[in-house]
Amino acid sequence: MSGEAGALAGPDGGLRCPWGLSTEDYIAYHDEEWGRPVHGDDALYERLCLEAFQSGLSWITILRRRDGFRAAFADFRIATVAGFTDEDRARLLADPGIIRNRAKIDATLANARVLADWPEGELDSLIWSFAPDPASRQVPKALSDVPAITDESTALSKALKKRGLRFIGPTTAYALMQACGLVNDHLADCVAREAAGS
């Protein structure tokens, strides 16, 4: 997200972050999901995976295939994906309903195997331990005020990699933090900012 744009009026006249206005899919995602707190190991694993698949692509590409991803990866249940076989991998590499990127698919499977050995709730606790104090953050007024990485996202990326997870650099980690409500990067005048909290 870059540029000087502040919140812009949507179809209903409400002001929103400009990136959330380009399609109906984006408006719904922006208004109802992005920036809202996400908890639970499976739910956070899904977001980790989708943010990794998004790397190098537009988020709308992932958003429009999310149902396909959920079907292909057993609703991102860590225990189930950890048991995927070579036949499952071959199925995923041939599945037109997802992004058929070998490195990203392999990372998704490998990460599930790592996470399956963690105690329940540990992924949730680890990720949320990197949420900054909301009082320490400036409320963004324009897209140019929103960073691509932060000290916290860099530290989160390092912590996840140290524990054996793959395909989670600082930029992907920050996108995860934004999407899952660890930070509230809705612009100051955005109608969704208050609902997202902090």
31-57 pLDDT tens trace: 999 999 999 999 999 999 999 999 999
Is residue 1 a part of any domain in this protein?
no
Residue 190 assigned as binding residue: yes
- Evaluate whether residue 34 is within a structural domain: yes
For residue 3, being part of any structural domain is answered with no
Q: Span 135-155, mean pLDDT?
A: 96
We report the CATH number of the domain holding residue 138 as 1.10.340.30
49 is in an annotated binding site: no
> In terms of residue numbers, what domain contains 23?
13-196
Q: Give the active site residue among 19, 26, 45, 51.
A: 51
Q: Is 51 a catalytic residue?
A: yes
Is 88 contained in some domain?
yes
- Number of domains into which the chain is organized: 1
Does a structural domain hold residue 41? Answer: yes
78-127 confidence digits (pLDDT tens): 999 999 999 999 999 999 999 999 999 999 999 999 999 999 999 999 99
Catalytic residue check, 24:
no
111: in domain: yes
Question: Residues 174, 53: contact at Cβ < 8 Å?
Answer: no
For residue 4, the model assigns a pLDDT of 62
Residue 180 known to bind ligand:
no
In a domain, 69, yes or no: yes
